[in-house]
Chain A
């Protein structure tokens, strides 16, 4: 029982960052219809920014986080303007291929710049964990969870309550009508991609100091983000949040009670299972067939 409680606590903490990753991807996916293969690399980019700023340039840990998020948004915006702007109206496979190309370039550029060695980022939190009865959790993870929750809340607010968020949702619902209403679709796309990228970079900047930073860290993050998006449904922010927590629980319970070797397989098994049981997804609102 104590073990189960510990697993549930771990899953909750992990679920926050998963939700962050999933929301970023689902926004890009839903609004732009772009399968963003660079999402994992932006996650890795956030983590490398933390390493560069905290370990090499001695920037304050918390300030470095904000800078990493801002740089992630800038990089995302740049990718959108450079690569995707001219592919407006191209079919989903074409943009996917371009994104795969960009993903390969980014990952190998990281490998070239930082070499394959795993790097660690020191955090200012005490090493002793917080003990809650039979459970314990490190302070760093509490910080990660708290920031993730704040960012998820801020994204909700932004998407649902602000003018730009409304324009994004309008674009998602009907691109042509939105354009006729005077929404500048190009700008919405750049903003969406930048927002999604900044969330990925935030997740990386949060988890980099918890784990280690490696050039291939993005692959696993991207595959998990894809699983979350499938779980939650295309462009569905609530779905992605719930999906993030479901995935975290499935992984944590699976690793604890089935086999830790298959931890990372849980998300994929979940996807396949859901498609067998409910091809429309857990939170399907609209069409699912592309």
Chain B
């Protein structure tokens, strides 16, 4: 996207709370924005390094749980008479902690799981997410298990005498938009850097990349850390917006939603996750408005996924780009 166009788009999106007062629509936009951030982070791994991570929701959930726990405070018994606790911290600090813990988990998981590739990697990533979910269900002392963590505080920022509250939807919408822009810029900077070129090289041909001296595992781990931290940020935003978090946040179906967003939009493109995320963020609401049952909605998702793979294997964004290029060329062909 050209820089000028991006500015216009962001400005237009930022003006939405000024003229739109329907809180339901705003809510849909907020959750869509959060999922777009998650999809962008997945795209870094799936699109730019070519690793299909199906455990991505784990990072999202870890960010959400960490942020919730740090902002609420917790106390756990390590040994029968030894307790470890944390007093409630400000929400901005909790969110940073969520991002950091998700990033660290990304480092550990990257180091561990990039020993294998292909189908094995996919299964390891699913396993990882499932273990984290089961821990969230069973470690009741820390996570409250299925009873969920609730009364999670909303974000407030005190800068000098000014107190900014992100409790209400218009302000939270702007926060999500800002986070999206930051993530987008980070991804652009990363994939156009030396590290990004190394990632693309190893996606295209791992042996060749290795033979020219690219430390493949290192770049995969870097991508995982950035991707996990970003997903953790999306989770932290989500948890302080919804203000309740339970182990269902780790369900595989959320990973599938992110994958569908990335694949439909166009994996390995910068704008693909934005387009795919917008479509699949808003589509469920449209389908619900049409009084379609959730099962049917999921069936439509599944069918769409298969159709996209068959007919738009590269995704919507590359397809549009190609048809635009063809349209520009056509007058020349006519001559």
- A residues near B (Cβ < 8 Å) are 29, 33, 35, 83, 86, 92-94, 96-98, 100-105, 107-109, 111-112, 219, 223, 226-227, 229-230, 234, 259, 261-262, 264-265, 267-269, 271-272, 275-276, 279, 288-290
CB pair A102 B127 closer than 8 Å: no
A83 to B306, CA, bound (A): 9
Q: Does B327 contact A (CB under 8 A)?
A: no
Q: State which of A108, A279, A289 has its C-beta within 8 Å of the C-beta of B299.
A: A108
* Number of A-B pairs, beta carbon distance below 8 Å: 124
> Chain B contacts of A276 at CB under 8 A?
112
- Is B92's beta carbon under 8 Å from chain A? no
**B303 an interface residue at 8 Å Cβ cutoff?**
yes
- Kindly state whether residue B313 has any CB partner on chain A within 8 Å: yes
Residue among A104, A265, A288 with most chain B CB within 10 A: A104
Interface residue ranges of B80-130 to A (CB < 8 Å):
112-113, 115-124, 126-128, 130
B42 contacts A by Cβ under 8 Å = no
Chain A interface helix/strand/loop/mixed: helix
Q: B120 contacts A288, CB within 8 Å?
A: yes
- A97–B259 Cα gap in the complex (Å)? 9
The answer to whether B234 has its CB under 8 Å from any CB of chain A is no
B residues less than 8 Å from A33 (CB atoms): 119
Q: Given A96-B52, A96-B122, decide whether A275 and B115 contact each other with a Cβ distance below 8 A.
A: yes
Q: Which B residues are in CB contact (< 8 Å) with A272?
A: 112, 124, 127-128, 131
The contact of B130 among A96, A97, A265, by CB within 8 Å, is A265
Does A262 contact B296, Cβ atoms closer than 8 Å? no
CB A86 to nearest CB in B, in angstroms, measures 7
Closest to A227 in B: B127
Sample of 29 A–B contacts (CB below 8 Å): A29-B119, A35-B122, A92-B118, A93-B52, A97-B305, A98-B309, A102-B306, A103-B302, A104-B299, A104-B301, A108-B302, A112-B296, A227-B123, A234-B119, A261-B137, A265-B134, A267-B127, A268-B127, A268-B130, A272-B131, A275-B113, A275-B115, A275-B124, A276-B112, A279-B116, A288-B116, A288-B120, A290-B116, A290-B121
Please measure, in the bound complex, the distance between the C-alpha atom of A259 and the C-alpha atom of B296, giving whole angstroms: 37
**Bound-state Cα–Cα, A206 to B187, Å:** 50
Segment 284-313 of B: residues with Cβ below 8 Å from A: 293, 295-296, 298-299, 301-306, 309-310, 313
B151 contacts chain A at the CB level, 8 A cutoff: no
* A35-B119, A104-B256, A112-B295 known; A223-B130 Cβ under 8 A: yes
